[in-house]
Amino acid sequence: MRTTSSKVRATAVGIVSLLLLASGVGLWTQFVPSESAQHRADPEDQKQVTFGETIYRAHCAACHGPRLEGQPNWRERKPDGKLPAPPHDETGHTWHHADDQLFRLSKLGVKPPLAPKGYESDMPAFGGVLTDQQIWAVLSFIKSKWPDHIRDRQERINEALRQRQAKKGD
Ligand code: HEC
């Protein structure tokens, strides 16, 4: 079971790396199979949201902004070639990703296996810093800032990922 799924994962990561080279940042995580599809960030859970806000302020706000507004000119690469931190509010592309992908990006950082070898990014991996529960809480807080129509659209992205995973038998 595990062996098969790590093989699948290894293959997927290879394909993903190629795709990313061809298509630019932003889409690849949709193809990375999930370990944690059962988890979800819940913006309706007030306890999670309040807990998540303290984590956001301590660990994310310095780059993603106290109001989730991101860094100035976040669409343009900096002189060092790296991208600034994008907003996490509805003006950014955070909500273009399923919960599970946001979790992985936050835990593993924007680097392999979620980005191709050699991709350089300032987004740290929080895996060694925050627990899974803290990461889900911070995502709950971020989602609580989205208006309803954005939450609905992101929920459709979650649903599409669930269906792809169900098809693969993941
Ligand atoms: C040191 C600065 C920094 C900190 C601190 C930081 N980030 Fe980031 N984050 C970035 C940058 C830069 C990017 C864009 C990376 C890229 O695309 O190359 C990013 C991207 C992301 C993305 C992907 C968004 C997308 O739409 O592609 C997520 C999710 C994310 N960060 C979550 C978090 C969370 C959650 C925290 C706090 C626990 C956090 N970040 C803290 C700099 C930071």
Q: Quickly list DSSP for 72-90.
A: TTTTSPPTTSPPPPPPSST
pLDDT of residue 40: 78
Output the residue whose Cα is nearest ligand 1's atom 14: 85
Testing ligand 1's pocket by substitution, the residue of 63, 96, 121, 130 carrying the most ligand atoms inside 8 A of its CB is 63
* Ligand 1 neighbour 41 (Cβ under 6 A): no
**pTM of the model as a whole:** 0.82
* Ligand 1 neighbour 93 (Cβ under 6 A): yes
pLDDT of residue 169: 75
Q: Could you read off the pLDDT tens digit of each residue along the chain, which spans 170 residues?
A: 455 555 656 655 554 444 444 444 444 444 444 444 346 799 999 999 999 999 999 999 999 999 999 999 999 999 999 999 999 999 999 999 999 999 999 999 999 889 999 999 999 999 999 999 999 999 999 999 999 999 999 999 999 999 998 998 76
User: Hey, what CATH class is 2-168 in?
Assistant: mainly alpha
Nearest Cα neighbor of 138 from 96, 105, 93, 110 is: 105
18 CA from centroid of ligand 1 (Å): 22
